[in-house]
Amino acid sequence: MKSKKILIIDDEEMIVDLCVALLKNRGYAVTGASSGEEALRIASSETFHMVVTDMSMPGIDGIETFLALREKQPEIIGVLITGHGTMDTAIQAMERGLSGFIRKPFMPLELVQVVKDAFQRTALAEENTRLKTLIPLYDLGEKFISSRSREEILESLVETIAKQTGAQRLSVMLYDENEDCLRIVAAKGIRSEIIKRLRIKSGERISGLVFKDGKPLILNGGVDQNPCFKAFLLASDIVAAILYPLKARDRMLGVVCISKVKHGSPFSEADIEMVSILCRHGVMALENLKVMNEKAEIVRTRTLFEQYVAPEVAEILLTRGENLLEVGEIKNVTVLFADIRSFTALVQQLPLVTVRSFLNDFFGFFSEVIFKFKGTLNKFMGDAVLAFFGAPVPVRRPENAAVEAAILMHKLFQELKEIRAEEHSVLSQIGLGIGISSGDMFLGNVGSKRRLDYTVIGTPVNIAQRLASEANSGEILVTGSVRAELSPHFAVTLKSSRLLKGMQAPISVFTFRSESVWKTFQNLV
């Protein structure tokens, strides 16, 4: 452990030599000076733990010398020597921040004991300061744990700092990326109109300088005592201030501005240490909240996606590292549209509970079939459903996947219809028509931050819907582009060339008859 460094100041050379010899013999590193001016010159290039200074000296006296040294070295301890010591002198010395007092003439052991006691008192005060931080830190930690928003965290931070430092004016300024400036987001003792309008760029004013440099700044004294910051100090009533940067590991978050106005003692080392600890814990609370919110958003988004896409599709979309609002591309996709025939008219003859239950079962097996063949479930629309294949999950032959899914849907729909018709015979009259088309279309998110809709847009979507509405019960209608890519084992026949509603030119329509559907399905399974 390095020796404590002590600076002895006295205009009597014999006193200086005596103190240097006594303290060096006790293991201290000691330097002597014959005046306050000489001591300040020495201290400009060397740091000391303690100064032992005579009260009365030519030039600046001992107390003034100590105060000047403490401005340069805030943690230095002071012991005063005087030949005219009174109780008033001792009280004055203690009020000015000195930690010890000794009268001339003194015994050698008396000097050693005063120095030793001063060091011990300082160490005890530092330990008390650390212990005192534990209580507000514990209370603040409990508030942070229960906080569910940034505002709650910052309000607790401001309240605790004000209570512990006695500051009358506080503000927390955070960097706003959209406005590229610091804005007040929590405050005490500041007018609301100032909070609303104040915007500070990095490097502007004192808070902007602290944000830019990332280093704390302590100003004990107002404009007159800090002339280099005069241009930045807009409030003339400040008597002391601490500006502390809020830093996360990889970026600057903002600045905490703490000030005493009109009256009040300078901020102590204990105040500065307290602010440092509270701010660091405030940053940790903000970062933890950010992580929690990000996790919650991922869960929310994943849950939203998995309502209409297979889990593997959701995984692809969430791991792309893109802004979900900007996810979109032109892709060649195969679209499947399924429509329950005659269902709208029959709804009037069924209890609403039955209608709901039937649709839930239908949509349930429909979703599972789509996911089974790596498709994306896009929309439920009354008694119809839209799905697509080939993106975002690559499928080797999306046309085959769509047709195989359609075949299985017909089988499961027939089974559901037969079961439900036993309870409500009218359900035996319904059927399922499916249309399938393919081509280039937009695939991606359409909507806003409040509601995303991952969908397909393009003419093939409209064609699939028209085909489904024209398909007979148990029939699958496909376009020529789909037929061209299907495997030979599918029994597809040309039905007609027709002009679909809303289309400018007729298209070739191919069909699977009901019996070929079951035959093909049996071959598949």
Same domain, 123 and 155: no
Task: Give the pLDDT band (50/70/90) at residue 401.
Answer: very high
Q: Is 499 within the bounds of a domain? A: yes
The CATH number of residue 74's host domain is 3.40.50.2300
Q: Is the per-residue pLDDT at 250 higher than 80?
A: no
Same domain, 24 and 165: no
Q: Is 299 within the bounds of a domain? A: no
Q: Is 266 within the bounds of a domain? A: yes
Q: Is the per-residue pLDDT at 438 higher than 90?
A: yes
- Amino acid identity of 58? P
Q: What is the extent of the structural domain holding 63?
A: 5-128
pLDDT tens readout for residues 197-224: 999 999 888 889 899 999 888 877 654 5
Task: Let me know if 271 is exposed, middle or buried by CB neighbors in 10 A (0-12, 13-18, 19+).
Answer: buried
Q: Is 272 within the bounds of a domain? A: yes
Contact 225, 232 (CB under 8 A): no
Contact 341, 430 (CB under 8 A): yes
Same domain, 246 and 381: no
Q: Is 305 within the bounds of a domain? A: no
The CATH number of residue 250's host domain is 3.30.450.40
Higher pLDDT, 466 or 86: 466
The CATH number of residue 459's host domain is 3.30.70.1230
Same domain, 323 and 374: yes
Lowest-confidence segment of 88-102, 193-207, 269-283, 464-478 by average pLDDT: 88-102
pLDDT tens readout for residues 90-107: 667 777 788 888 888 888
Same domain, 427 and 512: yes
Q: Is 518 within the bounds of a domain? A: yes
**For residue 52, which of 73, 33, 74 has the smallest C-alpha distance?**
33
Give the pair of three-digit tokens for residue 226.
Answer: 């800090």
* Centroid of chain to Cα 508: 55
Last residue of a domain, one of 240, 263, 292: 292
**Residue 138: predicted pLDDT:** 62
Q: Is 439 within the bounds of a domain? A: yes
Nearest-angstrom CA–CA distance, 125 and 120? 8
Same domain, 367 and 256: no
**Residue 1: predicted pLDDT:** 47
pLDDT tens readout for residues 54-70: 988 888 988 899 999 98
Lowest-confidence segment of 35-44, 243-252, 289-298, 299-308 by average pLDDT: 299-308
What is the average pLDDT across 241-261?
Answer: 88
Same domain, 419 and 514: yes
The domain tally of the chain equals: 3
Average pLDDT, rounded, for the chain: 82
Q: Is 321 within the bounds of a domain? A: yes
**Residue 413: predicted pLDDT:** 94
What is the average pLDDT across 24-47?
Answer: 92
